[in-house]
Amino acid sequence: MFTDTRWERNFPKIGIRPTIDGRRKGVRESLEEQTMSLAKSVASLLSSELRYPNGEPVECVIADTCIGGVKEAAEAAEKFRNANVGLSITVTPCWCYGTETMDTDPSLPKAVWGFNGTGRPGAVYLAAVLSAHAQKGLPAFGIYGNDVQDEGDGTIPDDVKEKLLRFAKAGMAVALMRGQSYLSMGSVSMGIAGSIVDETLFQDYLGMRNEYVDMSEFVRRMDEGIYDPEEFDRALAWVKEHCKEGADNNPEAIRSSREQKDRDWETVVKMTLIARDLMAGNPRLAELGYEEEAMGHNAIVSGFQGQRQWTDHFPNGDFMEALLNSSFDWNGIRSPYIVATENDSLNGVNMLFGYLMTGTAQIFADVRTYWSPDAVKRVTGYELEGKAANGLLHLINSGPAALDGTGQQERNGEPAIKPFWEITEEEAKRCLDATLWRPASLEYFRGGGYSSDFLTRGGMPMTMSRLNLVKGVGPILQIAEGYSVDLPEHVHDTLDNRTDPTWPTTWFVPKLTGEGAFTSVYSVMDHWGANHGAISYGHIGAELITLAAMLRIPVSMHNVEKESIFRPRVWGLLGTENAEAADFRACAAFGPLYR
């Protein structure tokens, strides 16, 4: 039986730092209980709301004492290092000595909550210590409640909760990426720039390693049987039972024989086992005598080149990518593996961002076509309505979209994509039933294989994002919140058949603001920086903006409400009139997190 060892490790924790006025003889003593109580309340909130990738609650570590000076700050820092703390939150209801009590670890994302109360000046400390963070080049997020609370009030207001959770979620993503790997399986696909794996991005901005294997490693492992043969038999049987083969759109004269199609099924199942083992390792291989291969590459995300050197001769990677990205397989319901098609490492990073922020499987797609209302009416006779009235985007690619993207999971009766710990066996079955595995187009994939074919249900809030590299600037993030939409069946069929109908489709409509890149649906398409996008369930644009600020990656376009944007306080010192320009200046000034 396969053992998933990905999450058998010491997860990073959230460090809570209760800071206090260090003056004795009555001042500090009167504040000890309230200050530590605030720290415990924050820890309780975060542990109850946030989860690790394995579904377990996030753990918090509280400093042993309140921090009134530099010695106690150093003791807390040592405790945090020993406990694998990956981000810190400082809380206080009172004035404290800023530079003596602050967190000075440059690699830890940090936030400060200054209690809004009139009894003691917590807000004064907040302003003072954030000033120190700015002066020392250690950006920190400031949290200050909108309404004054009574002295001794131990509750956390809703607006403070929102910022604490947003910071902690993004900070945990930063900590979870640190020390992990991107595994490049192959090299550059068809000249796609995102396939050029940029080590500066991964090492300086994300704190990750880069690992590389040639696609010939798949051939070696298949030829030499370096996979679990028992799991292969079980996987193939599961595929035959649950993966429905769809119609073959290839001209009859060049279609593969039934025998060849059956051999292709065997190959793509082996490829799935091998890619997973390359990413995360497999203890079973050691039992079979392959100790080195059993280790894997500690990869939290990977990419497969495929086209064309592989797919001109071997079955394509669509099944492998789609199933690994999904939240289930022959071993049951489990957390997804993040795999980018065409080795587009930049889109892989966005998929990783979305996964770490939501715990849900991700959709990888071409941002293929903008359909205007006039064009849809001309081609189909149908007039777009509802959310799609201003046009829509056709998101489609050959196979890396997780089957969760069918929308066959539900929350409160509405289509959803859920974390694996919430998915039922029935929901996983519905996702499989809603997917056809179509023999690959031999025009694109001369070596054959299978592509997933499904239609995403409408009505789901979604966020599309893309990381781009610009020479002289570095990474830049784009974000577009919107919705999946339904079209009448005949309209979908007409539009879908104008491209390759054997691939999964998501009809996506971005939210429009009437400004900049979001003046129209066309302008979103026109401003998109690359041919691919990563699509995550939910409106997580605000969370991605916070994460990007932590990593010092500027955001060039987004449609997130201004009041939801949460960045380090020092960003405002670089300009308040044009937040986008200030973001670029701040990221350039402070530089990558790990450089």
The catalytic residues are: 342, 366
Please choose, from the candidates 324, 407, 368, the residue with its C-alpha nearest in 3D space to the C-alpha of residue 501: 368
Rounded Cα distance, 529 and 165, in Å: 30
| Cα end-to-end span (Å), the chain | 42
CB 365 within 8 A of CB 36: no
Query: Known binder of ligand: residue 162?
Result: no
Query: Known binder of ligand: residue 532?
Result: yes
Q: Is the peptide bond before 308 cis (omega within 30 degrees of 0)?
A: yes
Residue 450: strand pairing partners:
439
Query: Known binder of ligand: residue 342?
Result: yes
Please choose, from the candidates 465, 592, 529, 555, the residue with its C-alpha nearest in 3D space to the C-alpha of residue 193: 529
Please choose, from the candidates 511, 117, 128, 504, the residue with its C-alpha nearest in 3D space to the C-alpha of residue 341: 504
Rounded Cα distance, 66 and 23, in Å: 12
Q: How far is CA 26 from CA 23, 116, 122, 124, 517, in A?
A: 8, 22, 17, 20, 57
Rounded Cα distance, 136 and 139, in Å: 8
> Torsion angle, CA of 4/6/7/9, rounded to 10 degrees?
120
Number of residues assigned to the chain: 595
Q: Residue 156: how many CA atoms within 13 Å on its side-chain side?
A: 23
Residues annotated in a binding site for Mn(2+):
342, 366, 532
